[in-house]
Amino acid sequence: MSNVIKAPASAAGGRAAAKKELPERFKAYKHIWVFIEQERGQVHPVSWELMGAGRKLADKLKVDLAAVVIGPEGETTRTAAVESFCYGADLVYLVADDVLSEYRNESYTKAMTDLVNIYKPEILLLGATTLGRDLAGSVATTLLTGLTADCTELDVDADGSLAATRPTFGGSLLCTIYTLNYRPQMATVRPRVMPMPERVARDAARIITHPLALFEDDIVTKVLSFIPDRDSEKSNLAYADLVVAGGLGLGSPENFQLVRQLAAVIGAEYGCSRPLVQKGWVTSDRQIGQTGKTIRPKLYIAAGVSGAIQHRVGVEGADLIVAINTDKNAPIFDFAHIGIVTDAILLLPTLTAAFRARLSPHSRDPKRASAQ
């Protein structure tokens, strides 16, 4: 299970020294797998994002990319399997059994570890969601292999090892971690860290079905009912096209309402930097950054946010970043596309009013517009 952390450049020799020849029992491990996460009949988009990343690794290694679909028997699981081909799968491993209707660690770990032990993948990728993190940890410990969590970059070395990069030391450094002497090499990646690949309509190809070999009576955990978190449906930050966020520069929870008002007018989700969550001004599902959500909107407006590295890693994928900050030397101006050096408390209401006027149905009525 020894994961090897590779420090930049000069320590590369350390990795070579740590690498023994892959034990004989792992030499047959080949191909790349992505776990297709489904909950309540929906495939989590992070699974398709990972298929995009997995496809690149598979092409580089010249191996197959397989999707692993685990779920209840029936249409939704089958649809997830077929859909996997549209996101680049060469084949699908399918474990369909009604015991798998609800996610439970025991049954899903059994399904995944059985598949791994029989079909032997060299790399296994999962989304760093609540479900994916739970499953990845138990699969790795059951298989006695290494797992690199919350990766921000995946690549393969010249010798074919998975190079899994993730932030460390509070986000101030990136480290690349290798699982050199064990298989599969496992990694999780948070939603929105990898870009969504284009869906290309393709017919289903090879689907390998595998029995679960586990019965309801064998599972100690029972799901009695599902009660969704009251707030969990409210924030769609990670997948929003427009996001407005506020930071400590706003000075008070009352001023944070200016962010919410602008977001409401332009149809955006609102978010914040971490100190606002720590102060209790905003709920934690709205935090953006390394320990919050990663976002990839078309437009990101950040007001009173300094742009610390832990915030930056969560927003860098945005197409257009507009930063409003009183300090012209604030780090956010190093990566914002448009910088406005001014007091956000004054600018936000003006922006909101301007957008409200511009986006009101009347302003788009050509007859009214010409009559004015």
What does residue 358 show for φ and ψ, rounded to 5 degrees? -70, -40
Q: Which of 63, 131, 149, 345 binds ligand FAD (CB under 6 A)?
A: 345
Dihedral class, residue 160 (left if φ above 0, else alpha if ψ from -120 to 50, else beta): left
* Cβ–Cβ under 8 Å, residues 149 and 190: no
- Tell me the two tokens of residue 335: 């990566």
CA distance 282 to 280: 6
Q: Annotate 94-161 with DSSP letters as a single string.
A: EEE-GGGSS--HHHHHHHHHHHHHHH--SEEEEE-SHHHHHHHHHHHHHHT--EEEEESEEEE-TTS-
Using the contact rule CB under 6 A, the part of the chain among 58-66, 198-206, 216-224, 281-289 near ligand FAD is 281-289
Least gap, CB of 54 to ligand FAD (angstroms): 26
Is the Cβ of residue 33 or residue 333 nearer to ligand FAD in the bound state? 333
Least gap, CB of 112 to ligand FAD (angstroms): 29
Q: 252 burial class (0-12, 13-18, 19+ CB within 10 angstroms)?
A: exposed
Is the Cβ of residue 327 or residue 365 nearer to ligand FAD in the bound state? 327
Is the Cβ of residue 173 or residue 208 nearer to ligand FAD in the bound state? 173
What does residue 189 show for φ and ψ, rounded to 5 degrees? -135, 135
Least gap, CB of 95 to ligand FAD (angstroms): 35
Is the Cβ of residue 80 or residue 305 nearer to ligand FAD in the bound state? 305
CA 126, 128, 134, 140 torsion-angle sign: positive
Chain residues 195-254 in contact with ligand FAD, contact rule CB under 6 A: 247-249
Is the Cβ of residue 42 or residue 326 nearer to ligand FAD in the bound state? 326
Q: Which of 88, 146, 184, 289 binds ligand FAD (CB under 6 A)?
A: 289
CA distances to 3, 223, 296 from 191, rounded to whole Å, are 23, 26, 10
- Tell me the two tokens of residue 97: 């059994």
Q: Which of 261, 290, 294, 352 binds ligand FAD (CB under 6 A)?
A: 290
Q: Is 274 in the site for ligand FAD (CB under 6 A)?
A: yes
Dihedral class, residue 7 (left if φ above 0, else alpha if ψ from -120 to 50, else beta): beta
Please tell me the count of residues contacting ligand FAD according to CB under 6 A: 29
Q: Is 187 in the site for ligand FAD (CB under 6 A)?
A: no
> SS3 of 172, please?
coil
Is the Cβ of residue 121 or residue 292 nearer to ligand FAD in the bound state? 292
Least gap, CB of 309 to ligand FAD (angstroms): 7
Q: Is 166 in the site for ligand FAD (CB under 6 A)?
A: no
Q: What is the DSSP letter of 306?
A: -
* Cβ–Cβ under 8 Å, residues 189 and 53: yes
Q: Which of 45, 72, 160, 275 binds ligand FAD (CB under 6 A)?
A: 275
Is the Cβ of residue 51 or residue 288 nearer to ligand FAD in the bound state? 288
Chain residues 302-331 in contact with ligand FAD, contact rule CB under 6 A: 304-306, 308, 310-311, 314, 324-327, 330
Q: Which of 88, 121, 292, 297 binds ligand FAD (CB under 6 A)?
A: 292
Q: Is 71 in the site for ligand FAD (CB under 6 A)?
A: no
Least gap, CB of 120 to ligand FAD (angstroms): 36
CA distance 105 to 110: 8
Least gap, CB of 318 to ligand FAD (angstroms): 14
CA distance 212 to 70: 9
Q: Which residues bind ligand FAD (CB under 6 A)?
A: 170-171, 247-249, 273-275, 287-292, 304-306, 308, 310-311, 314, 324-327, 330, 343-345
